[in-house]
A = this chain, B = another copy of it.
Amino acid sequence: MQLSLMTWQEVEAYLTDRSAIILPIGSQEQHGPMGLIGTDAQTAEAIAHKVGAEREIVVGPTISVGMAQHHLGFTGSMTLRPTTLIALIVDYITSLSRHGFDQFYFVNGHGGNITTVQTAFQEIYAEYSLAGADCPIRCRLANWFAMKDVVNLTQELYGDKEGMHATPSEVALTQYLFPDHIKSMAPSDAAPIKRMFTDASDYRALFPDGRMAAASELANPEDGKRFLEIAAKAINKDLSAFLAGEK
């Protein structure tokens, strides 16, 4: 149930007895020698669409460019400044809450988005708190790659070689989604994670080909299919808890 494929009257009907929306958010950023620039948006979108279809919950438009300043040292990477992303999320939520949506469930494919999106939620809540008014909405950010069952599968399949960026799991998922766009790379060790990075030039100095300790070449479409299924299942369950008002 994609918002973009509905008419306004269908959305109106949906809101007569439901009020949740799923919003995929990703990034356009380098994913090493064989990972796609759109990986994080593609994976978040695919999982969100699958869950939305299974649950008959509306899925809004994918936020395809996120906060990825640290990847700008690699050609093609894009970023929003954090304050721009905050403004964008405020506008998305304000638009949709005007119609009656009041439960906003973000499915996220990019670790770099986490603090900024959480901060955007606080910016929205703060307006109500400062005004002494009751905030009518609730938001949650769910990171598919960090769901317990997903992490377990990465360990089972790749162990330490999963790494932290351009991971075989995310690459596998995009291979399953875009079989015509599977790339290969000469086998080579990814740079290990010695410390956290700051800006783009620091990141590139630490991780010369873009990967963070990840053996992207282990990816294959079959694994990708499993990740899509297990991630959707985990998100589905977390979404249930969210809709039930649980922690």
Contacts and interface: CB of A to CB of B under 8 A. Distances in A.
B12 A125 contact: no
Number of copies: 6
A97 to B, nearest CB: 9
Contacts of A3: 28, 37-38, 76
Contact of A201 (B70, B112, B128): B128
Contact of A5 (B36, B82, B126, B135): B36
Contact of A67 (B30, B61, B122, B138): B122
A62 B63 CA distance: 9
A247 B193 contact: yes
Nearest to A116: B119
Contacts of A65: 61, 91-92, 95
A135 B201 contact: yes
Interface string A71-84: 01111111111111
B75 A198 contact: no
Nearest to A61: B64
A128 B62 CA distance: 26
Contacts of A77: 8, 95, 99
Interface string A112-152: 10111011111101101111111101110000000000000
A57 interface: no
A188 interface: no
A96 B178 CA distance: 24
A31 B9 CA distance: 10
Interface in A91-116: 91-92, 94-96, 98-100, 112, 114-116
B134 A201 contact: yes
Interface of A: 2-12, 15, 28, 30-38, 41-42, 60-62, 64-65, 67, 69-70, 72-84, 86-88, 90-92, 94-96, 98-100, 112, 114-116, 118-123, 125-126, 128-135, 137-139, 178, 181, 183, 193-196, 198-202, 210, 245-247
A-B CB proximity, top 6 nearest:
A4-B38, A11-B76, A129-B200, A8-B30, A135-B199, A69-B126
22 contacts: A2-B38, A3-B76, A4-B41, A5-B37, A8-B30, A8-B76, A11-B37, A11-B76, A61-B78, A65-B95, A69-B126, A72-B98, A98-B131, A98-B132, A115-B116, A116-B119, A125-B200, A128-B200, A132-B200, A134-B202, A137-B198, A139-B198
